[in-house]
Chain A
Amino acid sequence: MEHEDPRNGESPHRSSKKSKFSSNYIPESEIRDEFSHHQPRVARINNGSFGSCPGSVLAAQRRWQLQFLRQPDAFYFNTLRNGITASRMIIKDLINADHVDEVSLVDNATTAAAIVLQQIGHSFAEGKFKNNDTVLMLHCAFQAVKKSIQAYVTRAGGSVVEVRLPFPVNSEEEIISEFKKSITEGKSNGRKIRLAIIDHITSMPSVVIPVKELVRVCREEGIDQVFVDAAHAIGSLKVDVKEIGADFYVSNLHKWFFCPPSVAFLHCKKANASSDVHHPVVSHEYGNGLPIESSWIGTRDYSSQLVIPAVLEFVNRFEGGIEGIMERNHEQVVKMGKMLAESWGTNLGSPPEMCTAMIMVGLPSRLCLNSEEDASRLRSYLRDCHEVEVPIFYQVPKDGEDGVRDNDGCITGYVRISHQVYNTLDDYEKLRDAINQIVKDGKTCKMLCIE
């Protein structure tokens, strides 16, 4: 669990080399230091929701903020644009994009969704698309994205088809098969599918989706555009936008890539570069291309977009850089997931190869988690009484299906555990013991006392 390589000394020199023979990787004590601003004693196993940012990157961010405050005009005219371009260049290389013009920095995936969907909305409103032409999305798409579709697509006359993915899921084939079925539905009655929105890693419940394959299917089926919502992807799994081949690809950098809140990149395939994609907050840069529009949306604190070089320095202090971090996070979260499932007598929500740094673990049926309120109540209880932070998912039982069972009944609740470099074995043992305690006390979710 810990990075117990005896070759890791307390070396004062920080090397960015990934050589196996270097003893200069960041020692455990420094990792603790970097995250010493996290609330101690909290088992923080929800990196997925709000991410994390190390102290050295926060310090870099403060320097940028102070530079702006010191002389904002000079900063605006001489520094800001170059800083953002430098960050975009790093992202371009990380994600294997062809050209930096394809990379825009925005606040978060929620903003990127509004950007992509607003242009769809325009096309409906301006008659480019026919009334009822379809937008395809996953049933478990992030709530903000669903609402964005309502605001920009449904309102403008488009229709929506939801792909119902099975959960728990056992193989990629299950996902691909459901997706194909939904495409057929989306094209029924002479409709054209104008956009498919595909999560790379779904949020709740969390599963890795075979996006490359699904994008290929979309192309075969003549779907106009594909938007991959990869909020959790970068820093979690390898991102190669050319390989994936979507028209739009967004990922948050503050979730798994150690940036401060908040910053995300939106990749737009070059073929789309001259197309009609705009930032909804219009500044004097309107019409100069999305990357430039996004780099100035009025006076704001852009410091979170400027620290990406500092983040790269941070991840390169780890053995294997970001790849090494990803590998170890995945190993550990699977190990911890299995430990919990075994202790509780439950299951994992997906096979290990369909998860990254997060995994869904079934909760004992004796908790009687039978509603969203129950899930919320359990989460608050764990936070307030056990100092465990972990999101809980309520699995609505399918009609006519029994679902997965443990020895006592149907499993209807799952925790989504995350692993990031600051986590320790303690965190998961704390969760394990808390749940076991509740079950031992004979309590159900409804019986839990919260403030």
Chain B
Amino acid sequence: MASSLHSNNTQICPNPTALNGGSAADGKSQISKKPRLYADPPLLFTPSDIISEFSHHDPAVARINNGSFGCCPSSVLSAQNQLQLQWLRQPDNFYFNQLQPKIIQSRTIIKDIINADHVDEVSIVDNATTAAAIVLQQIAWGFAEGKFCRGDAAVMLHYAYGAVKKSVEAYVTRAGGYVIEVPLPFPVSSVDEIVKEFRQALRRGKQNGRKVRLAVIDHVTSMPTVVIPVKELVTICREEGVDQVFVDAAHGIGCVDVDMKQIGADFYTSNLHKWFFCPPSVAFLYCKKSTNNSDLHHPVVSHEYGNGLAIESAWIGTRDYSSYLVVPKVLEFINRFEGGIEGIKKRNHEYVVEMGQMLVKAWGTRLGCPPEMCSSMVMVGLPACLGISSDHDALELRTCLRDKFVVEVPIYYRPPKDGEEGGVVTGYARISYQVYNKFEDYYKFRDAINQLVDNAFTCASLPIS
């Protein structure tokens, strides 16, 4: 095994035009159409550049869980620190003269990346969890103010993120809405399986004269992780007369293609600190311009109330907004990689699939979905003999891997279905690949599991806490 990082993503490129990701394969890259933010074409990253940009990561850890908390390179952290100091230096001046223009600058960059029509459609918020609260709160008002009938439905995926499910409970169920969960098969073999279940759920939603007021669709589910055919599902929603579609793409930008006009949802949110190298935490919420959804508000109300969601979100009381302001610096960082964000996405996907296949071969298990249905993350079956038989087991195994083997990876418990025979895979690891990862990280994980298997470890032997 050669250098600790792969040679594919680290080249000094003498040709400045190639920096803009202008290869034929990257026709969709919006960044290639933007003028560069800097005068001289910068050198692309060398392996040691990358190591140094992530030198604040614990070097002993096989960090294969970029999906949970993301990562941020030190050049961006530096820029963030500068912004924090600027505020502390003279906060009144910063508040009156700098904060709003800088937020607009970030919003404008995001608008271009996601192919939104107008910067008014782009609000910056803390995270997808906040975005969900914003979208769902307006649904709650719809019920409270009699715009919707009691029992009207909201549809979401069974694998929707825990926070989103609770938000639906807090804002929809509480207000009188009826919630339908779309069961999705896992492991999943094709997009058609998902589409079929979704159609059926929509039909259930419309029974008894109910109207479906909102569909919440993950772009990339969290646990277990699968890429959902959102464009197709949004089309089905329109055909079936669903009022509004909210795409929860927490893992979206930097992980999958994010094109608002193509996807066509009413609302779309993505975290920028997961796969877009921003510091914790920052996300965008896109709201398509339409009379249907002009009533969105940030739940933390400031004096900007009523000035539009984007302006409301840009001031929710005194806080550290620095993570919202570093987006230009992040773009600089990304554009130092060959192919920019498109190149990073492509290579992350390729490597995570390669590593996933290496692991399932080593363990005799299977991937949770076909390669084309995964992004920069993939579910890898764990040996059945580990005996993962509950969520608790999954968490304990994860802790064991962290504490004893210095491997960080989330584990998912997949309950066996009726009729499935013994020896079925009940545990999956969600491995991620990001620019700082190296093959060694996955070998370490492979070897850790092999060692547990060799030692006849089972989750049943874990202490009950």
Smallest CB gap from A283: residue in B? B163
Decide: A70 near B57, CB < 8 A? Known: A107-B317, A281-B130.
Answer: yes
* CB atoms of A109 and B57 under 8 A apart: no
Smallest CB gap from A51: residue in B? B318
Q: Chain A 57-75, CB within 8 Å of chain B: the 1/0 string?
A: 0100010001011111110
Q: Which residues of A contact B58 (CB under 8 A)?
A: 70-71
Is B91 part of the binding interface, using a Cβ–Cβ cutoff of 8 Å?
Answer: yes
Q: Which residues of B contact A298 (CB under 8 A)?
A: 126-130, 163, 281
Q: How many chain-A residues does the 8 Å CB contact rule pick out? A: 66
* CB atoms of A70 and B88 under 8 A apart: no
Minimal beta-carbon separation of A100 from chain B (angstroms):
23
Partner among A122, A147, A383 whose Cβ is within 8 Å of the Cβ of B301: A147
Is B188 part of the binding interface, using a Cβ–Cβ cutoff of 8 Å?
Answer: no
* CB atoms of B90 and A68 under 8 A apart: no
Minimal beta-carbon separation of A404 from chain B (angstroms):
27
- Inter-chain CA distance A320–B305, complex, in Å, is 42
- Inter-chain CA distance A286–B408, complex, in Å, is 26
A35-43, A167-175, A177-185 - interface stretch? A35-43
* CB atoms of A262 and B306 under 8 A apart: no
* CB atoms of B56 and A66 under 8 A apart: yes
* CB atoms of B132 and A282 under 8 A apart: yes
* CB atoms of A282 and B301 under 8 A apart: no
Minimal beta-carbon separation of B363 from chain A (angstroms):
22
* CB atoms of B280 and A118 under 8 A apart: no
Is B231 part of the binding interface, using a Cβ–Cβ cutoff of 8 Å?
Answer: no
Interface set, chain B 78-132, CB cutoff 8 A to A: 81, 85, 87-93, 95-96, 126-130, 132
Partner among A72, A74, A278 whose Cβ is within 8 Å of the Cβ of B170: A278
* CB atoms of B297 and A49 under 8 A apart: no
Minimal beta-carbon separation of A371 from chain B (angstroms):
18
* CB atoms of B323 and A297 under 8 A apart: no
Is B273 part of the binding interface, using a Cβ–Cβ cutoff of 8 Å?
Answer: yes
Smallest CB gap from B321: residue in A? A261
CB contacts between A and B, total, < 8 Å? 183
Interface set, chain B 169-207, CB cutoff 8 A to A: 169-171, 174-175
Q: Which residues of A contact B93 (CB under 8 A)?
A: 39, 383, 389
- Inter-chain CA distance A122–B171, complex, in Å, is 10
Q: Which residues of A contact B279 (CB under 8 A)?
A: 69, 301
Is B320 part of the binding interface, using a Cβ–Cβ cutoff of 8 Å?
Answer: yes
Is B72 part of the binding interface, using a Cβ–Cβ cutoff of 8 Å?
Answer: yes
Q: Chain B 143-175, CB within 8 Å of chain A: the 1/0 string?
A: 010000000000000000011001101110011
Interface set, chain B 287-325, CB cutoff 8 A to A: 297, 299-306, 316-320, 323
- Inter-chain CA distance A37–B58, complex, in Å, is 30
Partner among B72, B81, B129 whose Cβ is within 8 Å of the Cβ of A297: B129
Decide: A58 near B69, CB < 8 A? Known: A111-B316, A280-B299, A282-B170.
Answer: no
Smallest CB gap from A284: residue in B? B162
- Inter-chain CA distance A151–B141, complex, in Å, is 11
Is B353 part of the binding interface, using a Cβ–Cβ cutoff of 8 Å?
Answer: no
Q: Chain A 114-137, CB within 8 Å of chain B: the 1/0 string?
A: 100110001001000000000000
Sample of 18 further A-B pairs with CB below 8 A, known A125-B144, A144-B301: A38-B89, A39-B89, A50-B95, A53-B88, A68-B280, A70-B57, A107-B300, A107-B317, A114-B299, A144-B317, A147-B303, A147-B304, A152-B301, A156-B144, A261-B318, A261-B320, A282-B167, A389-B90
A-B contact pairs, 20 of them (CB 8 A): A38-B88, A51-B318, A68-B280, A107-B319, A110-B301, A111-B300, A113-B301, A114-B301, A144-B301, A150-B301, A252-B318, A280-B137, A281-B130, A281-B299, A282-B171, A284-B166, A287-B166, A299-B281, A380-B96, A383-B93
Top 9 A-B residue pairs of the complex, sorted by shortest distance between their CB atoms: A110-B317, A298-B129, A280-B299, A72-B69, A50-B91, A284-B162, A147-B305, A286-B166, A298-B127
